[in-house]
């Protein structure tokens, strides 16, 4: 039978970090809370990286910096696309105004007259 993984509450983790902040050594806090010193160190690092985001608990996933950066890049790309399309629409509008003033279509090319070819023997 396998061992189940222990889960610690946000309050438990905060108490351990607060004890570290008050000057207790990492080893002392780890012994007092009966956890590995590496775990206490990780909790302290998470707390310092973002006190509001630290220890989100179940159901509250932290937005990783990579995900935020990815979304910001996507917003930037979409903003560029929107600017490009606005420019295209502006040029089309200008062409339509010129067409209305001149009375001739500007966007179509005149076709060449078809050459009639006669082939000998037919």
pLDDT tens, 20-70?
Answer: 999 999 999 999 999 999 999 998 988 888 766 677 665 445 556 677 888
Burial 36-57 (b: 16+ CB within 10 A, else e): eeeebeebbebbeeeeeebbee
- Report the pLDDT value the prediction gives residue 114, as an integer from 0 to 100: 65
Q: What pTM value is reported for the model?
A: 0.45
Rounded-to-integer distance, Cα 61 and Cα 57, Å: 8
pLDDT tens, 88-113?
Answer: 999 999 999 998 888 866 555 666 66
User: Angle at the Cα of 71 (from 68 to 76), degrees rounded to 5?
Assistant: 125
């Amino acid at each position: 039978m396998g061992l189940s993984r222990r889960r610690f509450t946000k309050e438990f983790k905060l108490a351990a970090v607060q004890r570290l902040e008050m000057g207790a050594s990492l080893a002392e806090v780890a012994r007092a809370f009966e956890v590995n010193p590496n775990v206490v160190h990780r909790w302290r690092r998470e707390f310092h990286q973002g006190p509001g985001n630290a220890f989100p608990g179940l159901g509250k996933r932290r937005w990783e910096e990579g995900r935020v950066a990815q979304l910001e890049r996507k917003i930037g790309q979409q903003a560029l696309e929107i600017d490009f399309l606005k420019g295209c629409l502006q040029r089309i509008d200008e062409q339509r105004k010129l067409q209305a003033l001149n009375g001739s279509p500007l966007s179509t090319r005149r076709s060449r007259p078809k050459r009639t070819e006669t082939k000998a023997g037919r």
